[in-house]
Structure formats: C-alpha cells, structure tokens
Amino acid sequence: MALRTIRLEGDKVLEKVCRPVTKMTPRIKTLIEDMFETMYDAYGVGLAAPQVGILKRICVIDVDGEHPFVFINPEIVEKDGEQTGEEGCLSIPGMVGLVTRPEHIIVKAFDENMEPFELEADGLLARACCHEFDHLDGHLYRKLAKGPLHRAGETEEQESPEEEETEEL
C-alpha cells in the first residue's frame, strides 16, 4: 500500500466525469488499498478516485472507523428527507461549508470483488456517500454550500478578528 497525493481544488481532474469500472484488476485493487490508506492518513471519512488523480467511478468511505465501504460505479436509486450540516473535503483542506443533503438514501454499487450490493444509509453515511459520489461527476461541495466556506472550527461570524472588532463597534 502507498499514500497517494490528494488533488486540491483548482486541479482540473476534479472537474471531470469519471469512467465506469468494467472489471476488477490488480491495479484497481491496489488503488482501493491506497485510497483507504490515504484517506485514513488524512483523517478523512471518504475519498473518491479523482481526488487521487484517477478518473474511475470508485469511492471508499468509513464514517466510524469500523465499517469501511468500497463503492464501484455507485448509483443512488432512492433518496428522501433532508439534513443540513457542515461539510468539509480533503480536496479543500481546513475549510467547511453548510450543505443540505438527503437524510436517507439507497445506493446500488459493486464492491471490491465486483459483486453487486445495495446499501441503505442515513445521517453521516448518507452525507458521505452523496459527497463522494458527487466527485465522480466532477462536482465539489462548494457549489452546494449555503454561503461562503469558512475555516473549520470557526463560525461564519468569526471569520476574522477584524470583522469581530468592527461588529462590536
């Protein structure tokens, strides 16, 4: 396994639509292993192949550190409800934005053995799936964020000390 370089916002590969995977190969198995290692090293909960420069429809997700998922050629077949919360991205490090996503989704995909599966996801897992699947179509969460992105750990009202002082005057 090896760490891969995470592509950052502005890299054109993040704007491209990924190609479907038609068969499992040793190179794709290695890619999946590397994606998990890269994601964990960066303290992420999800990573899509274009984020490491590969235009394949592959994502890895592990929201709790205990249940890693591989999604190959994922497709959301049902969604309902709504959740709004802060979202970040390894390709836009240190920044978060307020994003509304479905509360509940049903996904069809293939696993790392190219076996089809269906997953019902709620909450953070549903959010992570939607976020990572967007990467496969060349979309970053910034386009869905309500208002500007801000540094993680800061509220929008506390973006800079100068603004805080001005507001108090």
Annotated binding site: 89, 131, 135
> What pairing do the DSSP bridges indicate for beta strands 116-122 and 83-89?
unpaired
Three-state DSSP class for 141? helix
Element housing 164 (H / E) = helix 161-168
The residues pairing with 142 across neighbouring beta strands, listed in sequence order, are none
Catalytic residues: 132
Give residues with Cβ within 8 angstroms of 84, minimum separation 6. 98, 99, 100, 101, 146
Please report, in range form, the residues annotated as the binding site for Fe cation: 89, 131, 135
